[in-house]
Chain A
Amino acid sequence: MNQENIVMNLIYKAFESLNAEREPQKQISVGPDTCLFGVDSILDSLSLVSVIVDIESLVSEQFDRVISLTDDRAMSRDPVPFTNVNSLKNYITEILLEQG
């Protein structure tokens, strides 16, 4: 499995963790185009934080690297990585590639 697919699976895993905390009728269905914040978002900020924390932790475990999804670099990027799942996956993959 290539790195992009691994990262995508980690993002999905973070959403599985979030869904485990939600009521059965409030489960979130996630795909590459799922909007994470802003217009048409499915998440409130409490849920977004949960996803961010879990992804940072899962990436650290999987790749033995520390990443931050809320640092200045992420915030100054256009578009912001939280546009949708795919853009977040691309951003994480880019960071990992740079770290070598």
Chain B
Amino acid sequence: MNKLLEGDFVTLQPLTLVDASLTLRWRLSTRAIYLNSGAQTLAQQEEWIISRPASEYNFIITLKNGLPVGMVSLIGVNQAHRHAEPARFLIGEESAVRGIPVAIEAMKLIYSLAFDELNLLRVFGTIPSDNLLMIKWQNFLGMKEEGRLRKHYFINGQFQDAVILGMLVEEYRTVALPRMNALIAIGHRHPSK
């Protein structure tokens, strides 16, 4: 998929080789501790980008002034089962997104891709159990806890559970979308610099 996903505050641009250096820097930062470990060198990151399968949609989150601030993906798109997994969500430029509903709108665009364009019925994912901020965030956006994989991840020097979260299309329309729209509306009422 090569098209842009346009929001009011952000644009999701398809990940390309040009983004290898930037995304490698983000993924090697401490903020990426909860993502699966990946490339350690620029060559490895370029190889990783080239090898993305057709079942994935990988994006760079950019502000309307063109500044890239993060990344997000929709992976494991399965049209037979009509599900997919939002993944690799990372804000790399924290100071650039203060006061702007960047994370909210990026996730809204990913959900819209899944449910409105790809006509999926369900999105799901796992989050390490000590990543409380992300669990709280996903619950607020309408995800429901569906179970746990015990001691599934080794992160921060300890084994921890993987919290399984999922959302159905009707929950997206009745819970997630109104909440996301409300927070995006706050952004319009409180314009940033």
The reply to whether B97 and A71 form a contact with Cβ atoms under 8 Å apart is no
The reply to whether A42 and B98 form a contact with Cβ atoms under 8 Å apart is yes
**Is chain B's interface secondary structure helix, strand, loop, or mixed overall?**
helix
B153-193 contact mask (Cβ, 8 Å, vs A): 1 or 0: 00000000000000000000000000100110111011111
- The verdict on B133 contacting chain A, using a C-beta distance below 8 Å, is yes
- Known: A37-B190, A49-B140, A53-B139. Contact between A43 and B99, CB under 8 A? yes
- Known: A39-B192, A41-B190, A70-B182. Contact between A46 and B91, CB under 8 A? yes
The reply to whether B99 and A39 form a contact with Cβ atoms under 8 Å apart is yes
The reply to whether B191 and A45 form a contact with Cβ atoms under 8 Å apart is no
Within 18-42 of A, Cβ neighbours of B (below 8 Å) are at 18, 21, 23, 35, 37-42
Residues of A within 8 A of B18 (CB): none
- The verdict on A67 contacting chain B, using a C-beta distance below 8 Å, is no
Residues of B within 8 A of A46 (CB): 91, 103, 133-134, 137
The reply to whether A49 and B193 form a contact with Cβ atoms under 8 Å apart is no
The reply to whether B102 and A45 form a contact with Cβ atoms under 8 Å apart is yes
* Distance to closest chain B CB from A27 (angstroms): 14
From B30, B102, B186, B190, A44 is in contact (CB under 8 Å) with: B102
Alpha-carbon gap, A43 to B189, bound state (A): 16
Considering the complex, give the chain B residue whose CB is closest to the CB of A71: B182
- Known: A45-B104, A45-B183, A75-B182. Contact between A35 and B136, CB under 8 A? no
The reply to whether A53 and B186 form a contact with Cβ atoms under 8 Å apart is no
Q: Can you sample 11 A-B contacts with CB below 8 Å?
A: A38-B187, A38-B190, A39-B191, A41-B99, A45-B100, A45-B103, A46-B91, A46-B137, A50-B133, A54-B136, A70-B179
* Sample of 8 more A-B contacts, CB < 8 Å, known A38-B189, A46-B134: A41-B190, A41-B192, A45-B102, A45-B104, A47-B133, A50-B136, A52-B140, A75-B189
Interface positions of B (Cβ within 8 A of A): 30, 91, 94, 97-104, 132-134, 136-137, 139-141, 179, 182-183, 185-187, 189-193
Query: Nearest 6 CB-CB pairs, A to B?
Result: A38-B190, A41-B99, A70-B182, A45-B104, A45-B101, A45-B103
